[in-house]
């Protein structure tokens, strides 16, 4: 880390950061961006938090705002006299230091090549950290979605796989692959994978700090309610990190059929958890003896026994619509394959012209949406492979991907607010997931489908009767079978057989690109 532009602590990866090739002779305003008083006030706050920035950069304005950071566009004058644009990522001061350092290490070790964003510099003052990256002007995915040709869409995913191949080679699981984290400059044909704020290491990762995060997570040493969790959860479903204790019930979606006994049980604050994966002897709350047989199996409601049970803790970072089935079902052994699933969802958006493709607000509905496309039997079969039992209230066949995408790409879109066929199917589907080991019920979808407004597949619906007029142009009338074959391999429900980034780059679809 830096202190006033100087590094503290050893490590070659850190020292490499020092080699910023610029020195500011003069700070001046280049172009206008600051605009409103509010924007100016935010920039002042940034200068106040990390004053060194003012010596080097002229901050033009905010370009991104997430849960854990704000990103600014800034300009610095190089020694050569040339002005250069940079992206300044100001991390929220409550981020865990190891988490911040790991994000930096991903950028320094894997970044700067093969469409992975690099880093130029890093500032710190107290608990404020600002990461300085080269600026890549980029398009907003939804804005360009309908004007992309098939060839351009193909190049986009090809370049995404290049980035994923690189980070996976270094043993980094990104965990938050989505269009806003994959920058695309259409004019320059440049791409950059950004945002390692949720990244995790594979068991053999080359990123030392991801190993540290992993071991600290195992020991339960990191966490805290106000900090960005090192488990990778964003701002929901944050579990207690106290070893052997898991907060229960607060975050469990309570179905309408919950009985009184169940509510009482669910109201309990903490239950000593037995964690089979770490070999901790399992105890259960006295109100819920382990010998009690569950009576909700194969029924469409959650029994009181199950409601009182602790839920399996597994990494589930990312954005619901991009989460792989093994993430949604809280499979503890997650691999780089989760990024390939997310890339598949992006490809699905490109091929169907719909974004967000899946928009569920929670994991169970997200899984239900996936099932409507990939099929219930297929899901059940795949889930078994990674140790989960999925119960589905009805049998849904898988959809043919070409028919699905071409159907969604049709010229006329439904009037806004009207349900698509997929929406109707999904909202009447109920799900349960059981852990194979002991048959414990984990969660289920809302029982009353009619109530929710965000339960179905909603798309960027255009106004009634809008002519997309996409069908026969830009190559969308000649999408080859290879595209749907690759999509099928990306959206493989089983992570063990899902296509890797390296394999995807060699897919026949890209024969003209290599």
- Could you give the residue numbers annotated as active site? 176
Residues 151-210 binding ligand ADP (CB under 6 A) are: 180-181, 183, 194-195, 197
Residue 304 beta carbon to Zn ion: minimum distance, rounded to whole angstroms: 8
92 binds, among ligand ADP, Mg ion, Zn ion, none (CB under 5 to 8 A by kind): none
**Packing angle of the helix pair 150-169, 337-352 (nearest 10 deg):** 170
Residue 186 beta carbon to ligand ADP: minimum distance, rounded to whole angstroms: 14
Is residue 322 involved in binding Zn ion (CB under 5 A)? Answer: no
Our CB check for ligand ADP shows the closer of 194 and 499 to be 194
Quote the Cα angle for 181-183-187, to 5°: 170
Our CB check for ligand ADP shows the closer of 153 and 198 to be 198
Among 294, 314, 380, 461, binds Zn ion (CB under 5 A): 294
Instruction: Please state, in angstroms and rounded to a whole number, the distance separating the CA atoms of residues 459 and 498.
Output: 26
Instruction: Tell me the CA distances in angstroms from 36 to 32, 60, 262, 269, 396, one per residue in order.
Output: 11, 12, 52, 46, 52
Instruction: Please state, in angstroms and rounded to a whole number, the distance separating the CA atoms of residues 291 and 282.
Output: 12
Closest CB to ligand ADP: residue number: 66
| Site residue total, Zn ion (CB under 5 A) | 5
Instruction: Please state, in angstroms and rounded to a whole number, the distance separating the CA atoms of residues 425 and 94.
Output: 42
Stretch that binds Zn ion, among 85-93, 105-113, 158-166, 287-295 (CB under 5 A): 287-295
**Contact mark string toward Zn ion, 433..462, x via CB under 5 A:** --------x---------------------
Give the length of the chain. Answer: 514
Instruction: Please state, in angstroms and rounded to a whole number, the distance separating the CA atoms of residues 290 and 366.
Output: 30
> Is the distance from CB of 106 to CB of 207 less than 8 angstroms?
yes
Neighbours of 473 (CB within 10 A): 11
> Is the distance from CB of 205 to CB of 167 less than 8 angstroms?
no
Residue 66 beta carbon to Mg ion: minimum distance, rounded to whole angstroms: 5
Among 110, 131, 230, 306, binds Zn ion (CB under 5 A): 306
Element housing 514 (H / E): none
303 binds, among ligand ADP, Mg ion, Zn ion, none (CB under 5 to 8 A by kind): Zn ion
Instruction: Please state, in angstroms and rounded to a whole number, the distance separating the CA atoms of residues 192 and 170.
Output: 17
Stretch that binds Mg ion, among 4-12, 96-104, 192-200, 306-314 (CB under 5 A): 192-200
Residues 169-188 binding Mg ion (CB under 5 A) are: 181
Instruction: Please state, in angstroms and rounded to a whole number, the distance separating the CA atoms of residues 503 and 165.
Output: 9
**Contact mark string toward Zn ion, 394..433, x via CB under 5 A:** ----------------------------------------
Residue 73 beta carbon to ligand ADP: minimum distance, rounded to whole angstroms: 7
69 binds, among Zn ion, Mg ion, ligand ADP, none (CB under 5 to 8 A by kind): ligand ADP
| Site residue total, ligand ADP (CB under 6 A) | 18
Residues 60-119 binding ligand ADP (CB under 6 A) are: 63-64, 66, 68-69, 71, 87, 89, 117
Instruction: Please state, in angstroms and rounded to a whole number, the distance separating the CA atoms of residues 262 and 304.
Output: 4
Quote the Cα angle for 461-466-467, to 5°: 120
Element housing 502 (H / E): helix 501-505
241 binds, among ligand ADP, Mg ion, Zn ion, none (CB under 5 to 8 A by kind): none
> Is the distance from CB of 163 to CB of 41 less than 8 angstroms?
no
Among 76, 145, 296, 429, binds Zn ion (CB under 5 A): 296
Instruction: Please state, in angstroms and rounded to a whole number, the distance separating the CA atoms of residues 394 and 389.
Output: 15
Quote the Cα angle for 177-379-204, to 5°: 45
Residue 152 beta carbon to ligand ADP: minimum distance, rounded to whole angstroms: 19
Among 103, 155, 195, 443, binds Mg ion (CB under 5 A): 195
**3-class DSSP assignment, residue 84:** strand
Among 43, 133, 248, 408, binds ligand ADP (CB under 6 A): 133
Instruction: Tell me the CA distances in angstroms from 411 to 153, 343, 354, 464, one per residue in order.
Output: 19, 26, 13, 11
Name the residues that contact Mg ion, by CB under 5 A. 181, 195
Name the residues that contact ligand ADP, by CB under 6 A. 63-64, 66, 68-69, 71, 87, 89, 117, 133, 135-136, 180-181, 183, 194-195, 197
Name the residues that contact Zn ion, by CB under 5 A. 294, 296, 303, 306, 441
């Amino acid at each position: 880390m830096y202190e006033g532009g100087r590094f503290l602590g050893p490590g070659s990866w850190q020292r490499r950061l020092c080699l910023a090739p610029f020195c500011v002779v003069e700070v001046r305003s280049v172009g206008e961006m600051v605009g409103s008083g509010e924007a100016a006030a935010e920039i002042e706050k940034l200068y106040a938090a990390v004053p060194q920035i003012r010596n080097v950069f002229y901050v033009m304005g905010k370009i991104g705002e997430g849960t854990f950071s704000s990103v600014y566009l800034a300009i610095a004058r190089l020694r050569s006299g040339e002005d250069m644009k940079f992206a300044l990522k100001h991390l929220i001061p409550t981020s865990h230091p190891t988490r911040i350092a790991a994000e930096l290490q991903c950028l320094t070790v894997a970044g700067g090549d093969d469409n992975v964003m690099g880093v130029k510099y890093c500032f710190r003052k107290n608990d404020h950290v600002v990461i300085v990256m080269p600026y890549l002007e980029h398009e907003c995915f939804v804005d360009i979605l309908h004007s992309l040709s098939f060839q351009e869409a193909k190049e986009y995913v090809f370049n995404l796989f290049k980035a994923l191949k690189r980070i996976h080679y270094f043993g980094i699981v990104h965990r938050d692959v989505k269009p806003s984290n994959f920058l695309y400059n259409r004019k320059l044909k440049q791409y950059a994978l950004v945002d390692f704020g949720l990244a995790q290491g594979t068991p053999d990762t080359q990123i030392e700090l991801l190993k540290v995060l992993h071991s600290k997570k195992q020991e339960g040493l990191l966490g805290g309610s106000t900090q960005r969790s090192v488990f990778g959860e964003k701002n929901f479903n944050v579990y207690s990190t106290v070893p052997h204790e898991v907060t229960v019930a607060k975050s469990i979606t309570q179905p309408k059929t919950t009985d009184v006994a169940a509510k009482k049980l669910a109201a309990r604050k903490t239950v000593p958890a037995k964690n089979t994966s770490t070999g901790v002897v399992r105890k259960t709350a006295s109100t819920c003896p382990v010998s009690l047989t569950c009576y909700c199996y194969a029924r469409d409601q959650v029994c009181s026994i199950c409601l009182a049970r602790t839920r399996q803790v597994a990494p589930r970072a990312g954005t619901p619509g991009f989460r792989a089935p093994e993430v949604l079902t809280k499979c503890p052994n997650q691999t780089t394959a989760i990024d390939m699933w997310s890339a598949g969802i992006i490809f699905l958006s490109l091929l169907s012209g719909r974004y967000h493709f899946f928009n569920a607000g929670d994991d169970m509905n997200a899984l239900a949406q996936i099932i409507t496309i990939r099929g219930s039997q297929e899901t059940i079969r795949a889930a078994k492979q990674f140790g989960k039992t999925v119960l589905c209230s009805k049998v849904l066949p898988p959809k043919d991907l070409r028919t699905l995408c071409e159907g969604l790409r049709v010229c006329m879109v439904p009037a806004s607010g009207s349900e698509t066929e997929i929406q109707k199917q999904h909202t009447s589907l109920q799900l349960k997931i059981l852990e194979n080991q002991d048959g414990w019920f984990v969660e289920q979808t809302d029982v009353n489908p009619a109530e929710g407004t965000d339960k179905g597949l909603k798309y960027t619906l255009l106004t009634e009767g809008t002519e997309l007029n996409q069908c026969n142009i830009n190559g969308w009338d000649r999408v080859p079978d290879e595209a749907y074959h690759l999509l099928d391999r990306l959206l493989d429900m089983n992570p063990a057989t899902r296509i890797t980034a390296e394999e995807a780059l060699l897919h026949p679809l890209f024969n003209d690109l290599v």
